[in-house]
Amino acid sequence: MTADAPTRAAVGAAPVPHFDDPAYNTPTPLREAVVAIVTTAGLHPAGENGFRDQNDQSFRVLPADGRGLTSTHFSPNWDRTGLAADINVAFPIDRLHEMAAEGAIGSVSAVHLSFMGALDETMTTIRLDSGPAAAAVLRQAGVDIVLLTPV
Amino acid sequence: MEAEGFATVGLTLVRGQTERLQPPRALYCAFPLGRPLGGPGDPAFQRRVLDATFALLDRPAGPVLEDFPEVIDDEVDSPLACAVPPRMNRSDNPAVDEALALRAAYDRQLRASGRTMVGRQITADQVPTAVEAFTRIAGGAPLAEAGVEGEPVKTANDVRAYYEEAAMALEGHVPAARSAESWYFRKTLAGDAVRRAQRVLREGGGPNRLVAYLVPRSQLLP
């Protein structure tokens, strides 16, 4: 049995929100697009306001260089050593900058966001409050495409 | 995000959940939880994952859920073969002594990576005291009298991060996912104390959040 099996089973069976007629937008061509990362790794700049408890549905703004980040994600059920060694395993900021330098993507957003996953409720606060607020931050930064990296 | 006008594309590590949630575009990666881009320190692999992810933006209609062809396995029963340094002072609580002995390795790893996951609740300086507190809970001391600093889940996660990062320095490489975790919970006195503390709280009707989050599901004692 793999170490993740009990958690995969629990998460795989957990209730998920239902969306009627979800949106599916035509993306800006990747070579012209401003790309931002939104992760659920509970990341934030070290020394700043961490995630509070197991149902903290707020988000943190991450800097474009991705340096000095740590995680205060509440759940013990995922590996942190990869993240400690290489932030790109969940926050692939260096890879995006390389892709921008090659012209594979238009540019890297000046801001990125982190929520904390493994929330144990309906995520109503995200849907009604912090989600739209996060979208406003990305819109202000001129973001076209959002890369989602749940852990 | 899509309803707000952005085009979104994501990775997923839990296929069943994504099948039911039906986000617009998702790439399932059979990788360990915590490593959605795959191998740490492997830019070429990470780039392949990203290329496959962004390729989903070309699909004309959604929802799209495709599988990344490469797989990364991890095994819970393969703890690191990492030797714990000799004790510094045998008059101390052995678990505290162990935590103190790992400080040099933790510091080396911090200097090498410039990053630590310690700091949710306590600093590295406070880890030995926290280990002692979990030893007390494991021995039957009431939670309120054990001397755990702050939120016990955060403190336990800090102790674990301290040990895992020290192990990375002792091993000299990034471990396979969860093998440092298995080493910590199964081979160290501190990890053993936290596991036993969780069992004491579980059997004694302790707070739900501690029972649920103090120890990973894969490391619970019977």
At B117 the pLDDT is 94
Taking CA atoms, B32 is separated from A5, A20, B179, in Å, by 10, 31, 11
Q: Mean pLDDT throughout A102-129?
A: 89
Phi, psi of A120 (to 5 degrees): -100, 15
Q: Mean pLDDT throughout B90-119?
A: 91
Size of interface A-B (CB pairs under 8 A): 258
User: How far away is chain A from the Cα of B116, in angstroms, using its nearest Cα?
Assistant: 6
CB contact under 8 A, B41 and A28: no
Which residues of B are less than 8 Å from A33 in CB distance?
Answer: 7
User: How far away is chain A from the Cα of B85, in angstroms, using its nearest Cα?
Assistant: 20
Percent of chain A's residues with pLDDT above 70: 97
Chain B contact for A142 (CB, 8 A cutoff): no
- A1, pLDDT greater than 60: no
Instruction: Select the residue from A35, A69, A81, A126 to test the B interface by mutation, using most B Cβ atoms within 10 A.
Output: A81
Which residues of A are less than 8 Å from B109 in CB distance?
Answer: 84
Instruction: Select the residue from B115, B170, B185, B209 to test the A interface by mutation, using most A Cβ atoms within 10 A.
Output: B115
Q: Mean pLDDT throughout A128-149?
A: 96
At B75 the pLDDT is 62
CB contact under 8 A, B41 and A99: no
At A40 the pLDDT is 96
At A98 the pLDDT is 98
User: How far away is chain A from the Cα of B83, in angstroms, using its nearest Cα?
Assistant: 18
Reported ipTM:
0.94
- Residue A119 CB-half CA count within 13 A: 23
At B91 the pLDDT is 65
CB contact under 8 A, B177 and A74: no
| Nearest partner of B10 among A81, A135, A40, judged by Cα | A40
A151, two tokens:
């852990």
Of A16, A70, A105, the CB nearest to B21: A16
Of A4, A41, A148, the CB nearest to B32: A4
pTM: 0.92
At B85 the pLDDT is 66
User: How far away is chain A from the Cα of B8, in angstroms, using its nearest Cα?
Assistant: 5
pLDDT tens for each residue of B127-176: 999 999 999 999 999 999 999 989 999 999 999 999 999 999 999 888 88
At B86 the pLDDT is 67
Q: Which residue of B has its CA nearest to A127?
A: B1
Cβ atoms A127, A17 nearer than 8 A: yes
pLDDT tens for each residue of B46-99: 999 999 999 999 999 989 999 999 999 876 567 888 877 666 676 678 999 999
Q: Mean pLDDT throughout B3-20?
A: 92
User: What average pLDDT is seen over chain A?
Assistant: 91
| Nearest partner of B7 among A139, A145, A132, A33, judged by Cα | A145
At B83 the pLDDT is 77
User: What average pLDDT is seen over chain B?
Assistant: 92
pLDDT tens for each residue of A66-83: 889 999 999 999 999 999
Q: Mean pLDDT throughout B168-191?
A: 92
CB contact under 8 A, A95 and B157: no
At B178 the pLDDT is 87
Percent of chain B's residues with pLDDT above 90: 76
How many angstroms separate the CA atoms of B37 and B12, rounded?
10
Instruction: Select the residue from B37, B158, B163, B185 to test the A interface by mutation, using most A Cβ atoms within 10 A.
Output: B37
Cβ atoms B132, B96 nearer than 8 A: yes
Strands (E), chain B: 7-12, 25-30, 64-71
| Nearest partner of A77 among B200, B153, B124, B18, judged by Cα | B153
At B76 the pLDDT is 58
